[in-house]
Amino acid sequence: MEQNRRPCPITGSHSNDSQRTAESSVADNPSLDPSGLDETLDYEPRISPCPSGQGPYQHRYQDIDNEKDQNSDDDQYQAHLSQPSFDSRRGSSSFSIMQIDEIISDDRINMETYGVQELRDGFFDALFLAPKPLDPDLVAEIAKATLPKEFDKSHPLSAKHFLPRQFHEMVSVAHKIATTRAGIRLIKSFLSFFIAYVLCLVQPVQNWLGRYDYIMAISVIINHSDRSFGSQLDGAVLTIIGTAVGLGWGTVGLLLSISTDEAQGGYGGILAAFSIVLFASLAFMRAFFIRLYQPTLAAGIALAFTTLAETRSGGIEWQKLQSYAVPWALGQAISLAVNCIVFPDAGNHSLAIAFNKSFKTIQESLIIPRPRDIRAKRRLAKAFMDISLAYRDMRIDLTITRFRPMDVRELRNAVQGVVRALFSMKTDTDLFEEWDSPLEITIADSSGGKSPYEESGRKVAQALSGPTKEVIACMAEAVSRCHATLMDLTGWRKQIGPPKDVSSDIVPIQLRMKDALEAFDAAEKRLLTSKDRPDTYAEHGQAVELFVFARHTREAAATVVHLMTHIHNMQSHSSRIRLNLPTYPPAKALYRTNAQVRHDRGGVTAGMYKSTFKEIRKLITLTNLHEGDQHDTNFRSLLEWNNYDNVFDIPGKKKLRYRIYMVLHRLQDIESKYALKVALLTSVLALPGWLGTETTWWNTYEAWWAACVGWIMMHPRVGGNIQDFFTRAFAAILGALWSGAAHAASRENPYVLAVFAAVFMIPMMYRFTQSKHPRSGLVGCLSFTVISLSLRNNSAEASVTLLGVHKGIAFLVGTIAPIVVNWVLWPFVARHELRGALSSMLFFMSIMYRNVVANYVYFDEGKNPTPEDIRRSEMLESRMREGFVRIRQLLVMTRHEIRLRGPFDPVPYSCLAASCERFFEYLIAVRQSALFYNPDYIRDNPIAAEKLLSYRRDAVASILSNLYTLAGALKDQRKVPRYLPSAAAARKKLLHKTAEVVREMEENAELPELERQKTWSDIYSYSYNESLTGCVAQLEELEQFTKLIVGEKRFEGKKHLNYYDEDEDASSGRLN
């Protein structure tokens, strides 16, 4: 370790050798200024040293994209961390032993070894202790705080609350439409449809377009106008391309089916073969490439129309192709025109909404002190995700806004940096409590005298409470002004907020923040150099907690300074409106789409959950491969323990059989299963149209719409629950009934039909475009539009009502058939996915724990954590936070499923997810604290390291063993063994042995490190050890809650081993 260390300046940061090594790797172009930017890769954290005054343990390597940025001047201040004294280590170990004693008392484990030492050559020998009984009151208390807010409402399947809930939702929707932008969005989507519908009622237009003029209205519904301009243009182009593909493929099939006499004999078989091939291909692309949802959907509808409408052996109605293509193109033109003329949105509004929500959440989190609020923390995690999602949506589509994409990227990074810093702050601090008696601090020339334990907390609070409170006040004011500035730039401040009395002038708060930080640093330095400070803070838990909170506040303030600097710079070059073309990498854009398409597609929760967990697996795999682990193949096989997991490639030469295996394995994934289900469904629904010429009812009733609706409603992820079954069926029937009623009342009067259409379609368009149930709204829109407009050609017939019923049956069959197929073949069951998600999360945390221990705690000499290690760690932590959000969303989905064996109990799952998240937070704290408190005094001493090797191995292996066991039990729904390796006992033995080794090393006068050096490592050793002990405590909760879910495996009857008295002779029978 470096011996000649410079003193820490007031505004300097505290770092250790690990961080200096990390910084040296980017010394070619460092930037310690908050405005400094570096060249990075897309979706990877930025290698950027922290701002001046910000501790490097809180490096906020942000997610930014592959664009070159400006370089800034190097900061002249760079502080270094002194090595901790042995007294601080001993004190930290003593306090850690006190903490572990609260988890596992001495009466449960005997620490006396009587001088016997067991040498195990690389083997893990676990300690098994009787598990603690689970307190039901504790579970109930935890459940109240951990259940998502949706559980505060009545159960969605409750018959008692059904009507009151529907009435409340109707009132809420009416108020939302009347008072928010939801009304404008509804006007845009309905107006485009209504224009197309009215044009279809005009007789000359109907004569020109032909029998299928209603395709124009269908086209408007599929790509409605409630989108930004870029999304609308993108949808218009893609749906037209998809329509051309569907019509072209179907035409080829028709030509081949009548090409020869033999082909005409197999007319239906040829059409079926052509249709199934394309439907399966479209389904695979629809599930795999989310970006292609709109073109594949349009292609499927066009294909069904071409091969099923007006089909007969021996002839082709070529006119029908024109009567489909022209109305579809006109529908897209109408939607695009309405989108551009009526309240146009060029992408600025979605950015304004994301900025507004994120900054409001940050301001809420800066209300300190306050009791801990787990839901406020969840809102903060949601804001972390939303700001990133808004930036991706901006780059995917064409936008017209004042912002440049690179500015929004840096803004996203700055906001996420603030959020990360706020995550580490404990809001229920005692720093701002009333502390009586004034504090006098004397600057010492040498080491100061000791202070009593009960006085240390008071002295720290009296010294830092005032400066810290001013820093927090400046942060809140700065975030508020940044919020106002951004909303002014978007042009939506008047409609969205904040109020006009909030100033948007950033310069005054920048000056105030600078003064506040200087005062804080000065107070902190006086306290650390005080004459009456204690020898070591590691034994003063309260004082250390206050110190750590103050430092976390200081770090959060540095991120806010960075945010202010960037927003102030944005003002200077955001004076004009810019046209931003799509700049998202095409290879990545195929897997993402804009917000409105995600909504219209349905199944957002399930789709995002799968995507998030696949990204986590990919990051873990890439991290492992980067480390060059010799067990890459075995590690990769562990990641493949869910049948829906992606298999990620590994470097090296591949043989042909391996490539074949990869292809076959990939074909087992959900995309292939979805393609098979689509092929089966469309084949069954289209079979009557391919059988022969004796099915005149097929064309009369346009029954081919059953296949179209089945294709539209079949979702790649979520099939639908019992509530969806009845809701969608009711929407299809209601559309048919309303169409019949409209024709019965209109008596061929187009004005009456238009009025009926307006009354029905306004709520249906809202349900499709804005509600949480878009697919039921879509089937209602399609049912009414097709049936009401197709009945005009048969309005003179007396059986028009019966004809409408028959057409409605086709829509009903097409609506419920996909749900039934999804129930039978590979169904999506939220509670099963929830259990699998928790299993995966436990496994991911075991990998995280392994990486943290290997890279940050017990790394070999000379292999300190690098910037790349920290970058990958923060990337993985960001995805893991998103994973916990998806788990809570899955938990909410379980409320909508019927369970025959009894009501599903969400409490154990909620408690387990919350315990996982706490374990995750402790891991982050371990990683951050380890950057300051590295036990080099043992690592660099081979004798000490050898003495602790087996104890460290047992402590790490016990945690990994428990996590693997629990993850496997959840995955396979197996009972958890009653006795698991005790991680608490292993950690207690490690702490006792560490204290013993430290005492032995203190007696060695040859070690130069024995000189007392007062550093921040003294404080962070407490946080480091507390976090590791917290992981052990959470592990016991993980075990208890997992047993609540899958049960506990006890001894089985006669197989139980009877214990015997050691004083008696052991018979051979007892040993068998």
Domain limits of the chain? Answer: 1-77, 162-227+229-344+670-717+719-824, 348-589, 615-660+830-1055
C-alpha neighbours within 13 Å on the C-beta side of residue 757: 29
Compute the average pLDDT of residues 12-18.
36
Q: Which string of b and e fits 638-662 if b means at least 16 CB within 10 Å?
A: ebeeeeebbbeeeeeeeeeeeeeee
What CA–CA distances, in Å, run from 975 to 477, 640, 972, 1047?
53, 22, 9, 5
CB 223 within 8 A of CB 335: yes
The answer, yes or no, to whether residue 10 has pLDDT greater than 70, is no
Compute the average pLDDT of residues 88-115.
55
CB 839 within 8 A of CB 694: no
Compute the average pLDDT of residues 470-490.
95
Confidence of residue 647 (pLDDT cuts 50, 70, 90): very low
In this structure, the strands spanning 44-45 and 976-977 are unpaired
Phi, psi torsion values for 312, nearest 5 degrees: -155, 145
d(CA 189, CA 187): 6
Alpha-helical runs (H) found in 973-1060: 983-1002, 1017-1046
Assign 113 to helix, strand or coil: coil
Alpha-helical runs (H) found in 315-373: 319-341, 348-365
pLDDT of residue 215: 96
Token digits for 578?
């810019």
The answer, yes or no, to whether residue 216 has pLDDT greater than 80, is yes
Compute the average pLDDT of residues 1009-1028.
59
The answer, yes or no, to whether residue 813 has pLDDT greater than 60, is yes
| Higher-scoring residue by pLDDT: 273, 1060 | 273
Most confident of the following: 234-243, 581-590, 656-665, 915-924:
234-243
Q: In Å, how far from its chain's centre is CA 46?
A: 20
| Higher-scoring residue by pLDDT: 1058, 435 | 435
Confidence of residue 701 (pLDDT cuts 50, 70, 90): confident
Confidence of residue 599 (pLDDT cuts 50, 70, 90): very high
Token digits for 57?
């343990």
At how many degrees (to 10) do helices 983-1002 and 942-972 cross?
A: 170
The answer for residues whose C-beta is within 8 angstroms of residue 855's C-beta and 6 or more apart is: 865, 869, 873
pLDDT of residue 539: 63
pLDDT of residue 439: 45
Phi, psi torsion values for 650, nearest 5 degrees: -120, 150
The answer for residues whose C-beta is within 8 angstroms of residue 838's C-beta and 6 or more apart is: 887, 909, 912, 913, 916, 970
Most confident of the following: 551-560, 657-666, 1005-1014:
551-560
CB 764 within 8 A of CB 780: yes
The answer, yes or no, to whether residue 822 has pLDDT greater than 70, is yes
C-alpha neighbours within 13 Å on the C-beta side of residue 702: 23
112 backbone φψ class: left, alpha, beta (φ>0; ψ -120 to 50): beta
- Number of Cβ within 10 Å of residue 450's Cβ equals 12
Instruction: Indicate if the alpha-carbon torsion angle 674, 678, 681, 683 is positive or negative.
Output: negative
Compute the average pLDDT of residues 810-820.
95
pLDDT of residue 296: 96
The answer for residues whose C-beta is within 8 angstroms of residue 916's C-beta and 6 or more apart is: 838, 841, 842, 845, 884, 1038
805 backbone φψ class: left, alpha, beta (φ>0; ψ -120 to 50): alpha
Compute the average pLDDT of residues 186-194.
96
CATH top class, domain 348-589:
mainly alpha
Residue 312's beta-bridge partner residues? 315
At 713-733, the pLDDT tens digits run 999 988 888 889 999 999 999
The answer for residues whose C-beta is within 8 angstroms of residue 833's C-beta and 6 or more apart is: 606, 609, 890
pLDDT of residue 1053: 53
Compute the average pLDDT of residues 361-371.
92
Q: Reply yes or no: is the peptide bond before residue 369 cis, omega within 30 of 0.
A: yes
DSSP-derived letter for residue 209 is H
Phi, psi torsion values for 399, nearest 5 degrees: -135, 150
Confidence of residue 117 (pLDDT cuts 50, 70, 90): low
pLDDT of residue 115: 59
pLDDT of residue 334: 97
Compute the average pLDDT of residues 362-390.
90
The answer, yes or no, to whether residue 445 has pLDDT greater than 50, is no
- What percent of the chain clears pLDDT 70, i.e. is strictly above it? 76
- What percent of the chain clears pLDDT 90, i.e. is strictly above it? 41
Confidence of residue 851 (pLDDT cuts 50, 70, 90): confident
The answer, yes or no, to whether residue 527 has pLDDT greater than 50, is yes
End-to-end CA separation in angstroms for the chain = 56
Compute the average pLDDT of residues 225-239.
95
The answer, yes or no, to whether residue 641 has pLDDT greater than 50, is no
pLDDT of residue 228: 93
Phi, psi torsion values for 977, nearest 5 degrees: -55, 145
d(CA 60, CA 64): 12
Give me the count of residues in the chain.
Answer: 1072
Residue 315's beta-bridge partner residues? 312
Token digits for 966?
């629990």
The answer, yes or no, to whether residue 187 has pLDDT greater than 60, is yes
Q: Which of 308-312, 444-448, 535-539, 555-559 has the lowest mean pLDDT?
A: 444-448
pLDDT of residue 69: 39
Confidence of residue 694 (pLDDT cuts 50, 70, 90): low
| Higher-scoring residue by pLDDT: 526, 140 | 526
pLDDT of residue 909: 93
The answer, yes or no, to whether residue 380 has pLDDT greater than 80, is yes
d(CA 1032, CA 435): 34
CB 537 within 8 A of CB 1019: yes
Confidence of residue 535 (pLDDT cuts 50, 70, 90): low
Residue located via tokens 């030492």:
117
pLDDT of residue 805: 86
- Number of Cβ within 10 Å of residue 844's Cβ equals 24
Cα dihedral 328, 334, 338, 344, rounded to 10, equals: 60
d(CA 255, CA 307): 11
d(CA 677, CA 467): 64
Token digits for 1017?
């490592």
pLDDT of residue 454: 52
Compute the average pLDDT of residues 783-798.
79
d(CA 251, CA 253): 5
d(CA 867, CA 865): 7
pLDDT of residue 629: 46
The answer, yes or no, to whether residue 51 has pLDDT greater than 50, is no
CB 804 within 8 A of CB 742: no
The answer for residues whose C-beta is within 8 angstroms of residue 1011's C-beta and 6 or more apart is: 85
Confidence of residue 637 (pLDDT cuts 50, 70, 90): very low
Q: Reply yes or no: is the peptide bond before residue 942 cis, omega within 30 of 0.
A: no
CB 292 within 8 A of CB 590: yes
pLDDT of residue 797: 54
pLDDT of residue 1056: 45
